[in-house]
Amino acid sequence: MAFDHGEAYAYPGAASAAGGSCGGCGDYGHANCDMCCGKPLWWAKFEVLLWWREGRDLPPLATTDPVSEDSSTAGVLPDATILLGGDRQSSDMAAGGRVDVGFWMDPGECWGIGNRFFGLGNDSHKFHVDSLDNPVLAVPFFDFDLDANNALLVSYPGLVSGAIDVDASSSVIGNDVYARFLLCRDCDSRLDFVTGYHYSRIRPRFTPWTQ
């Protein structure tokens, strides 16, 4: 038996529901359980996200050497000291949000369609070093003409002075368009099958420059 505002309704599958099994869309008594609560034919949910990302792997981007190193080999790997890169840069916590809205396509709430969107703020990393911090600065690279490691001198006493700046960031957004189909339910819970299309975009931005 199911009760709706004090009135009893007999419905197919009541005995099985009492035994703990689920009722489906043909089990109208369960629909009565939902409707007696005045549930609307739509849903909406908003979540605040606090996510940590894995970080990013950067190649060696800035190197230094003692001032005693000859200018022809200053900053050249593997003997130079790496100031930035060569390992994984940790990521800070990124705040964002997720919105989920949808509509039931029938009064019995047997199936519905929804859309879920989420996004995170930029995960940024800035780096700056100049000749006042390190008299010898270089940007290492692999020279395919020489088939060997080489470096672009940015700062060297008596020869050149400059700075290296790196600005890296990434943003994440995602969107789901989905359908929900009732598998079974009772007055307190329900089990749905969810299927649909998911799209995610991770957009990294990496800007190194010298001056």
* In a shared domain, residues 34 and 130: no
The C-alpha atoms of residue 132 and residue 135 are separated, in whole angstroms, by 6
User: Using one digit for the tens of pLDDT, what is the confidence trace for 121-166?
Assistant: 888 888 899 988 889 999 999 999 888 999 999 999 989 999 999 8
The C-alpha atoms of residue 124 and residue 174 are separated, in whole angstroms, by 19
> Binning pLDDT at 50, 70 and 90, where does residue 171 land?
confident
Q: Based on the structure, what is the number of domains in the chain? A: 2
With CA atoms as reference, report the closest residue to 96 among 53, 52, 48, 54: 48
* In a shared domain, residues 19 and 47: no
Average of per-residue pLDDT across 15-29: 50
* In a shared domain, residues 170 and 204: yes
The C-alpha atoms of residue 50 and residue 96 are separated, in whole angstroms, by 7
* In a shared domain, residues 126 and 107: yes
* In a shared domain, residues 116 and 199: yes
* In a shared domain, residues 126 and 164: yes
* In a shared domain, residues 56 and 29: no
* In a shared domain, residues 200 and 188: yes
The C-alpha atoms of residue 86 and residue 72 are separated, in whole angstroms, by 22
Please state the pTM of the whole predicted model. 0.61
- pLDDT higher than threshold 70 for residue 35: no
User: Using one digit for the tens of pLDDT, what is the confidence trace for 48-78?
Assistant: 999 887 777 788 989 999 999 998 899 999 9
With CA atoms as reference, report the closest residue to 166 among 140, 130, 138, 128: 128
Average of per-residue pLDDT across 160-185: 92
Look up the domain containing 143 and give its range.
43-210
Across the chain, what does the average pLDDT equal?
A: 81
* In a shared domain, residues 165 and 131: yes
Asked whether the beta carbons of 159 and 153 are under 8 A apart, the reply is yes
* In a shared domain, residues 16 and 95: no
* In a shared domain, residues 54 and 33: no
The whole-number pLDDT of residue 4 equals 34
* In a shared domain, residues 30 and 74: no
Place of tokens 């009064």: 107
E strand intervals along the chain: 2-4, 7-9, 42-52, 56-57, 62-64, 81-84, 88-89, 93-104, 111-130, 137-143, 148-155, 163-185, 190-210
Average of per-residue pLDDT across 17-26: 53
